[in-house]
């Protein structure tokens, strides 16, 4: 995968139907690519799910920012904030 970090400040990935297909796990090949990207650029995960329900499939990314509840809640290192 060719990727130029200077092209992006961050990448945002939706969970369900984009990187999570069974509701609970990220497939191994997708997980590996996400890990590679996470070393190069900030990755943010978004979902209609509440933030607490986003955590299980994202256990490999505990410090990444999350946008949950269809954009109504943001979890960052500084805390959880309503939008």
Q: Specify the pLDDT at position 34.
A: 97
Q: Specify the pLDDT at position 2.
A: 66
| Alpha-carbon torsion, ordered 32, 33, 38, 43, to 10 deg | -120
Question: Domain spanning 7-82: which CATH class is it, in words?
Answer: alpha beta
Q: Specify the pLDDT at position 1.
A: 57
Q: Specify the pLDDT at position 23.
A: 79
Q: Specify the pLDDT at position 6.
A: 66
Work out the percent of the chain whose per-residue pLDDT is above 70. 93
Q: Specify the pLDDT at position 36.
A: 94
Say how far apart CA 7 and CA 30 lie, in whole Å: 21
């Amino acid at each position: 995968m060719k990727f130029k970090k200077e092209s992006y400040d961050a990448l945002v990935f939706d969970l369900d139907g984009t990187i999570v297909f069974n509701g609970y796990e990220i497939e191994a090949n997708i997980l590996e690519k996400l890990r590679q990207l996470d070393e190069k650029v900030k990755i943010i995960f978004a979902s209609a799910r509440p933030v607490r329900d986003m955590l299980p499939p994202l256990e490999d990314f505990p410090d990444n920012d999350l946008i949950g509840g269809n954009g109504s809640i943001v979890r960052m290192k500084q805390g959880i904030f309503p939008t």
